[in-house]
Amino acid sequence: MSAVTLPPYAIALGMRIEPDNGGAPVIGQDFTTDVNGNRGAFHGGVLAGMLEIAALAALTAELESSEGPYRLKPANITVEYLRTAGVLTTYARGEVVRRGRRLAQLRASAWQESPDRPVAVGFINVYLAPPAAQE
Amino acid sequence: MKQPDPAASDADAIAAFGQAFGGAGHAKWLGIRVHARTETWLELAMDWRADLVGDPATGVLSSGPVVSLMDSCAGAVVWLTKNMPAVTIDLRVDYLRPARPGSTIIARCECYRVAREIAFVRGFGYETDPDDPLCQVAGSFMRSERPFK
């Protein structure tokens, strides 16, 4: 498996990769002033950011290092907001629904108390730029 | 429903944005601010920052800050033009092209329809030319039961 690293944005906000549980990487983010959207709830954009980072981490973890350094270029993201994400730590985990040669279709879920009660789910389409096509 | 006031000033937009997002927290961390408005749309601006980058190899911003900007603008325009505090039901962002590293991003959103308790918003993000958008956004918002006070 390829190593998963967090982008500068995630590090600046305080996101972390939770200890390996055997599945796709889980991203964690504590509630802080910097993620507060409105009156003690996560900003929807932070949840979207977590969903995309978790989705890309799931894809990166699945791409074997022998497949070369793909550059992942998200084409779009759709987020459904299901519950208020309050002052608890929020977690997000991604899933590769389908991976073709050029396109990966990803899903991610974010939750607080239990994965069975998601606060948001996201769908992300990612173009896989082959190593030769990198700028 | 309160009708948009054509003579409404930027102060109203700033107040609406402040009421929707408290003028603190995540929007403040991102440096999001009111850029411009008309009676139908609202623009918010966000500067590029190295610590908002998603791909260090290109300097392109991560999805999170861009969605935060678009979501903030979409939510605030519902408040501003429809006098309706609202929470996001869903949001779709299409990335039409990468944002240019170093450039300020401007979001422009319009609430084009309110049906019962649901507000529909469309918008886009651009750097300097509204005819050269970098992303397109569509979202729906539910009237908030919690008073925004």
The pLDDT profile of chain A, 135 residues, written as one tens digit per residue, is 557 889 999 999 999 999 877 888 999 999 999 999 877 899 999 999 999 999 999 999 888 665 667 888 999 999 999 999 999 999 999 999 999 989 999 999 999 999 999 999 999 999 998 766 544
How close is the nearest chain B Cα to the Cα of A23, in Å?
23
What topology does CATH give the domain A8-133?
Answer: Thiol Ester Dehydrase; Chain A (3.10.129)
Cβ neighbours for B96, distance < 8 A, ≥ 6 positions apart: B133, B134, B135, B136
Asked if A39 is an interface residue toward chain B (Cβ–Cβ < 8 A), one would say yes
Distance CA A74, CA A104 (A): 9
Q: Show residues of chain B in contact with A57, CB under 8 Å.
A: none
What local confidence, expressed as pLDDT, does residue A71 receive? 83
What local confidence, expressed as pLDDT, does residue B117 receive? 93
Alpha helices in A3-102 (DSSP H): 8-13, 44-62
Domain ranges of chain A: 8-133
Asked if A78 is an interface residue toward chain B (Cβ–Cβ < 8 A), one would say yes
CB contact (8 A) between residue B95 and residue A39? no
Q: Show residues of chain B in contact with A45, CB under 8 Å.
A: 26, 64-72
Which domains are delineated in chain B? Answer: 10-143 (3.10.129.10)
